[in-house]
């Protein structure tokens, strides 16, 4: 492998950056037959004294599949899924795709054939346009639910592409409403009806790229004028109503229109033994500050748990729906249906975010299971693969390989590896059982093999300006003086190497020629990390910035390092990612050191829990400041649009971000290229700068910078 890397970097080292690559449609090569496997959305289990309610098949079953194919973010064609085999757990089907060298994204639509055909996208449509086109009428759905999923091929499709893709998750396009009134002893539930549901739904959510939505996607022109029939609740259902009422997404109405316009639920029943039915209105999240009043989200389940009924209600359901809720107290519980094994019995609920934990190979690696419950006294117990308990129950677990620890309020389980897995894919596997109330959930813990030790990370810098890291494998070229301290950290195999503190194949540093708007997609594609350091605007142009943006988006394990030292550098890069530099303050006088940001959960990896501030190392001191080498640096001002999503690590005297990390976009922002220099500069001491070029991690400055690259390494290796 290392020989291959050498050949690759030799080629890249001498590649010309002055030729533009042409754009090819890429659809003239033969078809590719591919089998896709969909994991159906999970479902809530209701435990009744008489029996468990069976999950309706139409909530998870898939009978039709259409695949919309985008190349380089533009719609190209659609293909139907064939040879469909579906059950409640998963669906398999086959598609015939066209080969292309362009990045490909598949939008997978289930149970929507008629809708897709009648709203056919046009060639070159963007995803945003296509999302808005594919809408369908809401008709109180009883057929198989419309669903959406996606899959990306950043490097395109070829005849050598993997023939089977598994683990594709789908998102239902509607929500479910259930009502439980077992706690209201003086009330007999008899009927449930919805008012003012939207008359249309958007199959593909506006928030793509995640199997969870936070805001509704409502088609333009949709009207809240659909009411369901009154669903009856028989006496044998014992005050529980489920798996019958489904609703499309809806936005919260204006505060003054809540009574007349909000989608709501009306329950009918008998109060305190009366033979006359009366009706009560219940609203979605009326008292929840985290969610808007009346808002309904797709793939969510809303359970109205009636706690108390204090008086007779309205004489008819229409009057109840058109007046404020009165004489009934209901707790509204909601959760995303991608939560695993969510169970509810009218009094308690319990669910977990995952039933399989896969840890990285190294001792100390952690993973978290989110727990959704009102039960804090649930227990943990080791078990075999069939769920048979081993040993005793407890609030935490520990053996030779793993620990499982519950946090104080029971909302999380933290799983930690105690050993390195150097034994291959058949490494340690451990199971444990969660026991809560009447429920038992089996969870498996696995640990990855140390493939990271053989993975070399390719990092690109440039031959002009300040901050270039030079080259270190082929034709060793020294770094620019402003990056010699950082170069030492990356070169030192005890920091980043097969047996280093951070396990990887090491950093392969390459320096490329650069000329305004002459960099190629092929050049960027060969690298895991791109550092756009201090270069004047005449070298790194707007087209270069667009290409690096496309490169970053093409794979989830790439990282961009972006500098913003001065107004005359990185202009086009900042325009591309931050929309301009209006929220950046550029300093041209030396005004003191850069202070480490206050400790928080968001930055703890860099200051305390990362590999260079834990174990044999100590955390970065809360009083630490990094020296300001010279007069020039930039600060992204806090509480501005530009600062959104960026976690500050170092701040300047102007109150802005000098060093920060955007986790979701995978960008490290550096307002002073001199952070990588070992030289003293203005006010430099042995403690407030990287103080050597050998990579020795011996002070807070080197710990912080090393942890930044530890995070970059984790993203490249694991997509985290």
Distances (CA, A) of 169 to 148, 210, 254, 303: 8, 10, 34, 24
pLDDT band at 3 (very low <50, low <70, confident <90, very high): very low
Percent of the chain with pLDDT over 90: 59
* CA-to-CA separations, 367 to 205, 360, 416, in angstroms, rounded: 29, 9, 7
Cα-to-chain-centroid distance, residue 3: 36
Per-residue CA distances from 127 to 30, 130, 191, 217 (Å): 25, 5, 41, 14
Task: Using the predicted structure, report yes or no on whether residue 21 has a pLDDT greater than 70.
Answer: no
Mean of the pLDDT values across residues 64-81?
A: 95
Percent of the chain with pLDDT over 70: 87
pLDDT of 56 strictly over 90: no
With 90 as the cut, is the pLDDT of residue 66 above it?
A: yes
What number is the average pLDDT over the span 380-388? 92
For tokens 């390092």, name the residue.
561
Q: Residue 50's pLDDT is what?
A: 34
The stretch 147-154 carries a mean pLDDT of 89
Give tens-digit pLDDT for 656-704.
999 999 998 999 999 999 999 999 988 899 999 999 999 999 999 999 9
Geometric angle at alpha carbon 634, from 633 and 640, rounded to 5°: 165
Q: Measuring CA to CA, which residue among 608, 587, 586 is closest to residue 599?
A: 608
In angstroms, the CA 262 to CA 284 distance is: 9
* pLDDT value at residue 30: 43
Beta strand pairing call for 147-153 and 429-436: unpaired
Q: Which of 482, 483, 635 is nearest to 566 (CA)?
A: 635
pLDDT for position 188: 96
Separation CA 530–CA 511 (nearest Å): 10
Give residue 548's pLDDT.
95
Give whichever of 265-274, 358-367, 425-434, 512-521 has the largest mean pLDDT. 265-274
Average pLDDT, the chain: 86
pLDDT in tens, 155-207: 788 765 557 887 788 888 999 899 989 889 999 999 999 999 999 999 999 98
Point out the least confidently predicted range of 278-292, 396-410, 665-679.
278-292
What pLDDT band is residue 235 in, cutting at 50, 70 and 90?
confident
Q: What percent of the residues of the chain are helix, what percent strand, and what percent coil, each to the nearest 5? A: 15, 35, 45
DSSP conformational letter for 268:
E
* pLDDT for res 161: 53
Of 175, 153, 173, whose CA–CA distance to 165 is shortest? 153
pLDDT at 86: 85
pLDDT band at 2 (very low <50, low <70, confident <90, very high): very low
Burial 5-17 (b: 16+ CB within 10 A, else e): beebbeebbebeb
The tens digit of pLDDT for each residue in 547-582 reads 999 999 888 899 999 999 998 898 999 999 999 989
Q: Rounded CA gap, 174 and 110, in Å?
A: 13
Q: 720: pLDDT confidence band, cut at 50, 70 and 90? A: low
The answer on pLDDT for 393 being more than 70 is yes
Mean pLDDT of 105-123: 94
26, 62, 93, 211, 267 from 81: Cα distances, Å: 22, 11, 6, 21, 41
**356-359 long-range contacts, CB within 8 A, separation 24+:** 356/443, 356/444, 356/446, 357/415, 357/443, 357/444, 357/445, 357/446, 358/446, 358/447, 358/448, 359/402, 359/415, 359/416, 359/417, 359/445, 359/446, 359/447, 359/448
Q: Is 68 or 452 the better-scoring residue by pLDDT?
A: 68
Which pLDDT tens digit goes with each residue over 317-363? 999 999 999 999 988 877 665 555 566 665 677 888 778 888 877 78
Mind listing the pLDDT tens digit for each residue in 412-441? 999 999 987 766 555 688 999 999 887 888
What pLDDT was estimated at residue 290? Answer: 55
Confidence band for 451, pLDDT divided at 50, 70 and 90? low
Comparing 25-34, 214-223, 493-502, 615-624, the range with the smallest average pLDDT is 25-34
């Amino acid at each position: 492998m290392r020989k291959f890397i050498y050949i690759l970097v030799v080629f890249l080292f001498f590649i010309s950056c002055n030729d533009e690559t042409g754009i090819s449609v890429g659809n003239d090569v033969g078809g590719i037959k591919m089998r896709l496997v969909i994991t159906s959305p999970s479902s809530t289990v209701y435990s009744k004294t008489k029996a468990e309610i069976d999950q309706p098949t139409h909530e998870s079953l898939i009978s039709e599949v259409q695949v919309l194919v985008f190349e380089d973010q533009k719609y190209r064609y659609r293909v139907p899924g064939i040879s469909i085999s579906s059950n409640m757990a998963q669906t398999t089907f086959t598609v015939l795709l066209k080969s292309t060298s362009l990045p490909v994204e598949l939008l997978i639509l289930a149970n929507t054939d008629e809708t897709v055909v009648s709203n056919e996208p046009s060639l070159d449509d963007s995803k945003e346009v296509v999302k808005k086109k594919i809408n369908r009428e809401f008709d109180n759905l009883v057929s198989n639910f419309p669903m959406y999923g996606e899959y990306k091929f950043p490097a395109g499709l070829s005849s050598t592409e993997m023939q089977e893709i598994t683990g594709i998750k789908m998102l239902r396009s509607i929500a479910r409403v259930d009502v439980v009134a077992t706690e209201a002893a003086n009330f007999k539930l008899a009927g449930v009806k919805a008012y003012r549901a939207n008359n249309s739904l958007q199959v593909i959510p506006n928030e793509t790229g995640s199997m969870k939505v936070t805001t509704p996607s409502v088609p333009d022109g949709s009207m809240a004028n659909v009411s369901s029939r009154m669903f009856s609740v028989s006496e044998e259902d014992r005050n529980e109503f489920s798996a019958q009422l489904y609703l499309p997404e809806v936005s919260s109405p204006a505060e003054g229109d809540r009574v007349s316009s909000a989608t709501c639920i009306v329950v009918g029943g008998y109060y305190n033994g009366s033979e006359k039915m009366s009706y009560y209105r219940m609203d979605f999240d009326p008292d929840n500050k985290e969610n808007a009043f009346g808002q309904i989200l797709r793939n969510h389940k809303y359970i109205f748990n009636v706690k108390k009924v204090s008086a007779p209600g309205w004489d008819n359901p229409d009057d109840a729906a058109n007046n404020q809720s009165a004489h009934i107290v209901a707790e509204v519980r909601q959760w995303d249906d991608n939560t695993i094994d969510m169970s509810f019995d009218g009094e308690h609920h319990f669910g977990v975010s995952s039933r399989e934990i896969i840890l990285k190979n190294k001792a100390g690696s952690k993973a978290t299971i989110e727990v959704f419950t009102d039960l804090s006294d649930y227990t943990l117990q080791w078990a075999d693969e069939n769920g048979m308990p081993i040993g005793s129950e407890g609030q935490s677990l520990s053996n030779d390989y793993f620990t499982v620890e519950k946090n104080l309020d029971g909302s999380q389980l933290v799983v930690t590896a105690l050993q390195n897995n150097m034994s291959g894919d058949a490494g340690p596997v451990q199971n444990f059982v969660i026991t809560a109330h009447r429920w038992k959930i089996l969870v498996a813990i696995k640990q990855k093999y140390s493939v990271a030790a053989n993975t070399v990370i390719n990092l690109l810098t440039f031959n002009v300006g300040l901050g270039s890291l030079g080259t270190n494998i082929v034709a060793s070229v020294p770094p620019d003086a402003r990056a010699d301290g950082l170069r030492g950290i990356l070169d030192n195999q005890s920091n980043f190497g097969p047996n280093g503190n951070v396990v990887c194949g090491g950093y392969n540093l390459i320096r490329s020629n650069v000329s305004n708007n002459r960099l190629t997609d092929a050049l960027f594609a060969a690298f895991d990390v791109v550092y756009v350091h201090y270069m004047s605007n005449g070298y790194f142009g707007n087209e270069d910035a667009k290409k690096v943006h496309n490169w970053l988006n093409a794979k989830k394990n790439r990282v961009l390092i972006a500098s913003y030292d001065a107004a005359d550098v990185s202009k086009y890069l900042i325009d591309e990612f931050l929309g301009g530099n209006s929220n950046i303050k550029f300093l041209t006088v030396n005004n003191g050191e850069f202070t480490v940001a206050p400790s928080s959960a968001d930055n703890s990896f860099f200051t305390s829990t990362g590999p260079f501030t834990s174990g044999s190392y100590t955390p970065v001191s809360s009083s630490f400041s990094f020296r300001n080498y010279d007069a020039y640096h930039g600060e992204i001002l806090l509480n501005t649009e530009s600062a959104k999503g960026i976690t500050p690590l170092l701040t300047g005297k102007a109150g802005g971000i000098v060093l920060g990390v955007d986790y979701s976009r995978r960008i490290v922002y550096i307002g002073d290229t001199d952070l990588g220099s070992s030289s003293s500069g203005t006010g430099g001491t042995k403690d407030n700068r990287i103080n050597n070029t050998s990579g020795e991690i011996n002070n807070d400055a080197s710990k912080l910078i090393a942890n930044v690259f530890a995070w970059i390494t984790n993203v490249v290796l694991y997509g985290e």
